[in-house]
A and B are shown apart, each in its own frame.
Chain A
Amino acid sequence: MPAPTTTLLIEGTFDELVDELAQYIDNLKKAQGDESSDIQAECAQLIQENKKDDVLKKLVTGSPALNQAPEKEFIAAYNLLVHLIKQSPNLNMFLPRVCQNLSSPIQSSPSNGAGLALSILSTVFNTLQSDNENRYHVFLAILRVIRGSSNFETLKPQLKNLDQWLVQWEMDEEDQRKLYLAVTDVASEVGEEEQAYQYLIRALRTIPSNEASSEEARELSLRALKSALTHPSHYDFQDLTDLDSIQALRNSDPVYFQLLEIFNADLLDDFNDFKDEHDGWIEAEGLDSAALNRKMRLLTLASIAASTGQARSLPYAHIAKALQIPLLDVEMWVIDVIRAGLVEGKLSQLNQTFLIHRSTYRVFGENQWREVASRLDMWRNSLVGVLQVIQNEKANFIAQKEQELREVDAKMNGAGLGTQQSYRKQRRGDGEADLE
């Protein structure tokens, strides 16, 4: 059952409502000294001629005046306008204008203006059918308002529906990209780097493979790559390397691509070789060398932890050598890498080893899948064993219960006899005692 689409509930005919709204707008304008405005009369005339669209055009043209309406009346008046233009078959004609008006600042309420505009825009958004592509434009307007008021927090929980919406709106890839980039901009402006990066990746995914080497794709890819490299808590580069547009960098920007490869799978030594080979390149590109070094060390530690196999322990000396750090700093680095979520484990100071519980595989290949499969099998087998034991015990329990029942029955039957015998014995014993 779909949700009710009419959430605007108002009584009164179209004509009456138009008249009221027109009068209200006139009053607002007059209050600002614009005496010439007479939308009410014009509308009345047009209604007489039954030109609804023209009436609405008049109202929408006059609607910027609503931005001066007092806070308390603003929402009510705008809702009325939304209600009216929704009656028109040519909704597309009016919506852009309304969105534009709402995106401009609302003079009457400097502190809550954005909230008011957002509330009207979301009403417009919600009253449109969920597969109406106008929702896309309204959403862009919402993003603009949010960007202007740095209000990303309110939008964040709602973004999870975005993919579903895009499917419903049947947007082409260009428009999707535009939307994702808008979200990226909004997110990065308020410092939500991780979110911004996620949406940047999504924008990159919308680039079709035959355009992967276009200039726009290149710029976006470089931007994504740079933010991935410098982001302090982003360690997964596989999603990047899977992208066509990133693969296209192999030809256009080979140095960047090489760096990406190193961060994706290689160790610190390779990174140092790279630095020797391209001396000064990192600084020239404006990348933070210290941050890259640190990240590379963490990744290297994750790699060597993953490569220990079944032993699942690493001597301190080995770590120190791979990370090119003094033996004393090993524990600090291990703690850092655990905090980054790449590895989990215990430090054994006594044995000078690091016992690994879990480590992240930077490249998830076939061997890793095999490992997963074998562990799954192991788990399943042991569970089957446990189940077997439980079932056996249950069967035993039932059998035992039956056995007991049978014994009780047998006792009941043989009861008279048994007590008599023992009684007799007792009597004999007593008799003997008396005899003595």
Chain B
Amino acid sequence: MADTDSFLHLARPLGPAPVGAQPSTAPLSVVIQPQAIFSILDHSLRRNPDQERVIGTLLGTRTEDGTEVEIRNCYAVPHTETAEQVEVDMDYQKQMLALHLRANPREVLVGWYATSAELNTFSALIQNFYGQQGDGTWPHPAVHLTVSTVPGQDIEARTYISAPIGVTAERAADSCLFIPVPYEIKYGEAEKSGLELISGAKDREDRTQGILTDIESLERAIQHVLDMLERVSNYVNNVLDEEAEPSSALGQFLMNALSLAPKVDPADIERDFNNHIQDVLVVSYLANTIRTQIDLSNRLATAALTLGTGDALTGTGGGSGEGGQKSGQGERRGKGRGGQNRSNES
């Protein structure tokens, strides 16, 4: 997501403070979980064709001092917008919020989203609705998240909080100042690699992508590292050929990164490796011996069954230790006899 905006966020507007605490103007930051963005995009895809943008409620958590807001979840709220007026289904919003709070009381109302980067006076109205006392986020500022969803362009997200504007109460009611605040979209390693895999399908005709096996992803990772190494060594070679400007900070950094491998003697490695391989060999030898033993006894047991002398049959039928022994004896006998017979015959 492109983030080329330059803005300064130094202080949030002075809000009413909870009892016993000093009101503070400490700046605010927003963390967005990707699942919220996904459901916003999904909502945007399912909107009516005549609707410019759709809105919804953001749920999440807030730190105790209110300086960090984390957006975790969201749901759509139906609304209609015409040139003159905007209508938001407030009952729906209230019911949904109550249901969500019952399901997950820790995720509270933090603000609202709109699927267009534009801000207008309706935004101000809705913002004031979400930030109001009672049903809104009061005493904390409501967070407004805009996600641009113009097809074919990069998705851009922005977050705002609001400050009042105007010196009379009527004026302040339907207007506000949006203050841009910094945000961060946080996703984990697992989510990232999953998304990478899914996005691999977008360049293919059939829009499918097979799941990579471990070995394939290892191969791919090595390729990736090799590409990066190629780039770095190109730079280093350029420096050596005096084609690129050497940066000692960069060199120092590379050197540090490259010397992260601990210093070990090759002789030590060989010795340790040999010790280890001997252990492994002993283990595998023992394992083989045991396997042979098991194989052998299995074969002996089955052989008794097929030969089927009287006492061997009863032995296996009983299944007791004694019987097993007997059957073993029977087998041996049987086999021995068979062998004798065959040798006699031949």
A358 at the interface (CB under 8 A from B): yes
Q: Please name all residues of chain B whose beta carbon is closer than 8 Å to the beta carbon of A355 when the two chains form the complex.
A: 263
Stretch at the interface among B22-30, B40-48, B189-197, B315-323: B22-30
B251 contacts A369, CB within 8 Å?
yes
Known contacts A394-B215, A436-B337; A3 and B9 CB within 8 A of each other? no
B6 contacts A130, CB within 8 Å?
yes
B281 at the interface (CB under 8 A from A): no
A126 contacts B179, CB within 8 Å?
yes
Q: Which of A80, A312, A372 contacts B165 (CB 8 A)?
A: A80
Complex Cα spacing A241 to B249, Å = 14
A384 contacts B226, CB within 8 Å?
yes
Stretch at the interface among A111-119, A255-263, A269-277, A288-296: A111-119
Q: Please name all residues of chain A whose beta carbon is closer than 8 Å to the beta carbon of B178 when the two chains form the complex.
A: 7-9
A432 contacts B342, CB within 8 Å?
yes
Stretch at the interface among B55-63, B88-96, B102-110, B234-242: B234-242
B119 at the interface (CB under 8 A from A): yes
Q: Which residues of B230-272 are within 8 A (CB) of A?
A: 230, 232-233, 236-237, 239-240, 246, 248-249, 251-252, 254-256, 258-260, 262-263
A142 contacts B177, CB within 8 Å?
no
Known contacts A3-B158, A76-B163, A379-B229; A11 and B175 CB within 8 A of each other? yes
A168 contacts B6, CB within 8 Å?
yes
A75 contacts B13, CB within 8 Å?
yes
A75 contacts B14, CB within 8 Å?
yes
B236 contacts A383, CB within 8 Å?
no
Q: Please name all residues of chain B whose beta carbon is closer than 8 Å to the beta carbon of A386 when the two chains form the complex.
A: 222
A433 contacts B13, CB within 8 Å?
no
Known contacts A7-B179, A119-B13, A380-B226; A1 and B165 CB within 8 A of each other? no
Q: Which of B150, B248, B258 contacts A375 (CB 8 A)?
A: B258
Q: Which of B4, B171, B236 contacts A376 (CB 8 A)?
A: B236
Could you give, for residues 368-385 of chain A, a 1 whenever the CB lies within 8 Å of some chain B CB and a 0 otherwise? 111111011101100110
B226 contacts A76, CB within 8 Å?
no
Q: Please name all residues of chain B whose beta carbon is closer than 8 Å to the beta carbon of A391 when the two chains form the complex.
A: 219
Contact-residue size bin, chain B (C-beta under 8 Å from the other chain): 35 or more
Q: Which residues of A351-374 are within 8 A (CB) of B?
A: 355-361, 364, 366, 368-373
B262 contacts A9, CB within 8 Å?
no
10 more CB-based (< 8 A) A-B contacts, given A119-B14, A383-B229, A386-B222 = A75-B164, A112-B24, A115-B24, A119-B10, A122-B10, A126-B7, A142-B8, A372-B254, A376-B254, A387-B226
Known contacts A7-B178, A312-B263, A368-B251; A154 and B10 CB within 8 A of each other? yes
CB of A123 to closest CB in B, whole Å: 6
Complex Cα spacing A116 to B232, Å = 48
Q: Please name all residues of chain B whose beta carbon is closer than 8 Å to the beta carbon of A313 when the two chains form the complex.
A: 263
Q: Please name all residues of chain B whose beta carbon is closer than 8 Å to the beta carbon of A116 when the two chains form the complex.
A: 11, 14, 25
CB of A354 to closest CB in B, whole Å: 11
Q: Please name all residues of chain A whose beta carbon is closer than 8 Å to the beta carbon of B9 when the two chains form the complex.
A: 122, 158
Q: Is the interface of A mostly helix, strand, loop or mixed?
A: helix
B300 at the interface (CB under 8 A from A): no
Q: Which residues of B140-163 are within 8 A (CB) of A?
A: 148, 150, 153, 156, 158, 160, 163
A76 contacts B172, CB within 8 Å?
yes
A77 at the interface (CB under 8 A from B): yes
Could you give, for residues 152-176 of chain A, a 1 whenever the CB lies within 8 Å of some chain B CB and a 0 otherwise? 0011011001001100100000000
A432 contacts B345, CB within 8 Å?
yes
CB of B72 to closest CB in A, whole Å: 23
Q: Which of A17, A123, A155 contacts B179 (CB 8 A)?
A: A123
Complex Cα spacing A79 to B167, Å = 9
B229 contacts A165, CB within 8 Å?
no
A72 at the interface (CB under 8 A from B): yes
Q: Please name all residues of chain B whose beta carbon is closer than 8 Å to the beta carbon of A54 when the two chains form the complex.
A: none
Closest 4 CB pairs of A and B: A115-B25, A10-B175, A364-B248, A358-B259
